[in-house]
């Protein structure tokens, strides 16, 4: 609740598209994405406590709003206006957050959406460090999967079969997906 409240206040005070807003919110967005806070917010989407899950979802929606200040961060960099992004991976991170958002079913009676399966949030949070490293062996596969898939299938581990049966660096890909699944099984 504390982080959600502070992010909400920052957005209320500096949510315009002015240069000052970008100067203030850019470092906040960068620190959220690089410090592990974004991964923690994604993992919290599987929390059974409705209040904590609501705060995590609110934080993620505010982070998406921050990212929207730099145009459509999901577009290719060449299509964007040449405004400087707070970090070069912003389009990929924004697409990951849209992928997560689009996986949620609408809440009943204006409440909080149901918790995402642990396997899915484990996969989403494991994608964040990969998307920050374009040289990572899974970067191309994950980035292309996020571009071509509208949302995650909540009844399956995303990309499980593709990574399990992949050629080339299949051993490393299998280890990555099995570690992701183990984290999902252990609950965090």
- pLDDT tens, 20-45? 888 899 999 999 998 999 999 999 99
* Confidence bin at 72 (pLDDT 50/70/90): low
The residue ranking higher by pLDDT, 166 or 134, is: 134
- pTM, two decimals, is 0.83
- 3-state secondary structure labels for all residues of 40-59: HHHHHCCCCCHHHHHHHHHH
Whether pLDDT at 76 is above 70: no
């Amino acid at each position: 609740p504390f982080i959600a409240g502070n992010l909400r206040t920052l957005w209320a005070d500096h949510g315009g598209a002015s240069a000052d807003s970008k100067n203030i919110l850019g470092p906040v967005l960068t620190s959220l994405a690089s410090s592990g806070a974004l991964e923690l917010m994604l993992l919290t989407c599987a929390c059974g406590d409705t209040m904590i899950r609501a705060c995590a979802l609110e934080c993620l929606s505010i982070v998406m709003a921050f990212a929207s200040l730099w145009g459509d961060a999901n577009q290719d960099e060449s299509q964007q206006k040449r405004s400087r992004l707070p970090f070069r991976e912003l389009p990929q991170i924004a697409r990951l957050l849209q992928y997560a958002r689009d996986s949620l079913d609408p809440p009943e009676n204006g409440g909080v959406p149901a918790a995402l399966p642990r396997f899915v949030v484990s996969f989403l949070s494991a994608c964040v460090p990969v998307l920050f490293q374009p040289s990572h062996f899974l970067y191309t596969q994950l980035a292309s999967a996020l571009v071509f898939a509208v949302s995650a299938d909540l009844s399956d581990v995303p990309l499980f079969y593709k990574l399990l049966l992949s050629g080339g660096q299949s051993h490393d890909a299998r280890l990555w997906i099995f570690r992701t699944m183990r984290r999902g099984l252990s609950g965090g």
